[in-house]
């Protein structure tokens, strides 16, 4: 395989457009979130694989907010590009919009971030090309990804320090809409 040493964000860009059919809907007549996630996973794979020149797998999905429901008969467009790279991983940003074909109205339905890992022919993680950032928007997206990664690391660090059996932790729960119905054996 002839892998590149570096690659551009532009080289990772993928667009996928699909008409939403009744078979894609849930019981309330809206497009099923699981179906949308499947499309998002496909486009994340395509973007990361195109960028890295390798088979890629999904490592994690971050921030999946369903902002607006998608109706049967709407045209859904997903746009994806690599926003950030690590040694073997890439963060692929995905934007989902839906268009009412009759009115032309377009609505933003979802933005999400998939972390994809490049694999070699033996299934081992492999280094990805350096990312060439070509404009201020690409730099902003890279730093936004870096910020999300650092926030996630801080959260994991806080979770490691959290002692769910301490009196202080149980007192903290009084702020929330929960009832702790057991006593500590302290």
Per residue in 77-114, pLDDT (tens digit) is 999 999 999 999 999 999 999 999 999 999 999 999 99
> Are 68 and 96 in contact, with CB atoms under 8 Å apart?
no
> Which residues on neighbouring strands pair with residue 107, listed in sequence order?
98
Domains of the chain: 6-133 (3.10.129.10)
Structure token digits, residue 37: 């996630």
Per residue in 104-141, pLDDT (tens digit) is 999 999 999 999 999 999 999 999 999 999 999 999 99
């Amino acid at each position: 395989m002839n892998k590149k040493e570096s690659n551009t964000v532009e080289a990772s860009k993928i667009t996928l457009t699909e008409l939403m059919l009744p078979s894609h809907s849930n019981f309330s007549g809206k497009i099923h979130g699981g179906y949308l996630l499947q499309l998002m996973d496909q486009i994340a794979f395509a973007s990361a694989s195109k960028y890295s020149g390798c088979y890629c797998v999904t490592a994690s999905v971050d921030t999946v907010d369903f902002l607006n429901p998608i109706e049967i008969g709407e045209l859904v467009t997903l746009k994806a590009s690599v926003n950030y790279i690590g040694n073997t991983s890439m963060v692929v940003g995905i934007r989902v919009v839906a268009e009412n074909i009759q009115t032309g109205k377009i609505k933003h339905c979802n933005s999400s971030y998939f972390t994809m890992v490049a694999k070699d022919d033996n299934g081992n993680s492999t280094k990805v090309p350096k990312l060439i950032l070509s404009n201020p928007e690409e730099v902003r997206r890279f730093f936004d990804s870096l910020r999300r990664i650092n926030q996630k690391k801080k959260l994991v660090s806080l979770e490691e320090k959290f002692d769910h059996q301490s009196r202080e932790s149980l007192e903290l729960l009084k702020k929330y809409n929960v009832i702790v119905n057991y006593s500590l054996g302290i």
